Amino acid sequence: MKAATKMTYRDAMRMAMHEALKADKRVFLMGEDVGRYGGSYAVSKGFLAEFGADRVRDAPLSELAFVGAGIGAAVNGMRPIVEIMTVNFSLLAMDQIVNTAATLRHMTGGQCSVPLVIRMATGAGRQLGAQHSHSLEVWYAHIPGIKVLAPATVADARGMLAPALRDPDPVIIFEHAQLYNLEDELGDDSTAWQCDIQTAAVRRTGSDLSLITYGGSLPKALSAAALLAQDGIQAEVIDLRVLRPLDKNTLIASVQKTHRAIIVDEGWKTCSLSAELMAIIMENAFYELDAPIVRVCTKEVPIPYAKHLEDAALPQIEDIVQAAKQMMRKN
């Protein structure tokens, strides 16, 4: 068996892109500061020197324009990876993503596909203020014609890009900015990190309640589960990984086993992914529940800049622990 290598989430994503660029000349990277600067999060550092300006393209400050260019390249046989600096800025390209990329296969009766991968950072916790810190993944998970991924582990950061590039439809990969420095050991054997882009993952097994989450909230949920175990509460942690299409089978199987569910979502409660998950559980496992479903979400405010206010606005480990203990006390 090959030895495992310790690496960061950033390095894993970098390796995945490097492998894709080496393996397929149709793959190219485009976005703001991806070339000479090496990427806003240093994921593409060194790529410009190795692959050249034709395949690592610094784009002008216009998300609408360079996402549109990526769509055009995809339609014409290329395999573009388009990087948007943060999900907040992706709203400037919403027309291209929602009205063009997501609809062309349907509108052409299957004659035209858009094999486009869009990567973008999401999430808060770095004191960057409201315009750089929101979690808007659910906006895109709402749209038919798009696959939405949220790798939360080093292995998934390494393994999700390849199947995303093979997909004939647009795929959006949300990388929580708090995860880039996350470290873990990853085996050199590809079986250690290869994954599909269809299923959720059980990150910790348990019998008392299900903690359902994704992205940057996964480490918090796992830490909360470890603390709860010290008090005899065994929490199962479900990492959704894929936000569209949602893996309902894994979700429902967990709830049927534990009979309780807490959803941890860095988005706001109103019209949220957590609300959709609640609806799925209620429609498919209502009679399995021994307690009302609980949501731990971001407060309904723009993300503050001041650290103490930012921390207060976001779901924290202690919030999850408190919600779980209260749920168990009531039952």
Q: Catalytic positions, please?
A: 63, 132
Number of neighbours of residue 31 by Cβ within 10 angstroms: 26
Cβ neighbors of 147 (< 8 A, separation 6 or more) are 164, 167, 169, 170, 171, 172, 197, 242, 244, 245
Give the closest residue to 320 by CA, choosing from 219, 211, 204, 215.
211
End-to-end CA distance of the chain: 46
Question: Quick one: angle between helices 317-329 and 218-230, nearest 10?
Answer: 50
**Phi, then psi, of 112 in degrees rounded to 5:** -130, 125
Residues listed for the chain: 331
Cβ neighbors of 191 (< 8 A, separation 6 or more) are none
Q: What are 41's two structure tokens?
A: 């999060």
Q: Report CA-CA distances (Å) from 90 to 45, 64, 94, 108, 271.
A: 22, 8, 6, 25, 19
